[in-house]
Structure 1
Amino acid sequence: MTDLNDRITELEIKAAHQDQQINDLSEMVSEQWKLIEKLGGQLTKANDRIESLENNVPGEKSSLLDEKPPHY
């Protein structure tokens, strides 16, 4: 009977460790997803900015953001 109790105890310990690992992995995935969404937003903004700079028509007055600062 002791052998059976030891095996059950060992299985319970393994199950508890696996539960903790699943929770840790779930947290990591959640944090990484938030980071992916943030980086996706930054990439969209950067792409929009690049497109606006590429579409700047020569001869038209450029925006103040495109002008060089006075110290140049």
Structure 2
Amino acid sequence: MDLESRLTDLEIRYAHQEEALEVLSREVIEQRRLIEQQANRIEALKSRLSALAESSVGRPEDEPPPPHY
């Protein structure tokens, strides 16, 4: 292999590496967006659950047992 073909081979490999890095970077950005979205949903559900816990509905352990007991 002469120097020119080795250089061409390295340039091709570099171009493929650069493309792969760009694809991975876009994927990381998308995953981060999805994680933030899920975290926001979890926080909203936690708020709703807290609101339900504080509602006028009693806790199941405070209820008297059913009459058939």
TM tier relative to shorter chain:
0.7 to 0.9
Bigger relative contact order (CA 8 A; separation at least 6): 1
SS in 1 for 2:37: helix
1:11-39 Cα distance to aligned partner (Å, 9 max, x none): 00000000000100000001111111111
Question: Residue 54 of structure 1: CA displacement?
Answer: 1.0
C-alpha distance in 2 between matches for 1:58 and 1:22: 54
TM-score normalised over the length of structure 1:
0.73
Gaps of 5+ in 2: 59-69
Q: Distance in 1 between matches of 2:27 and 2:42?
A: 22
Equivalent positions of 1:28-67 (< 5 A) are 28-58=27-57
List, as ranges, runs of 4+ consecutive aligned residues in structure 1 with deviation greater than 4 Å.
none
Percent identity, aligned pairs only? 36
1:52 Cα deviation (Å)? Answer: 0.8
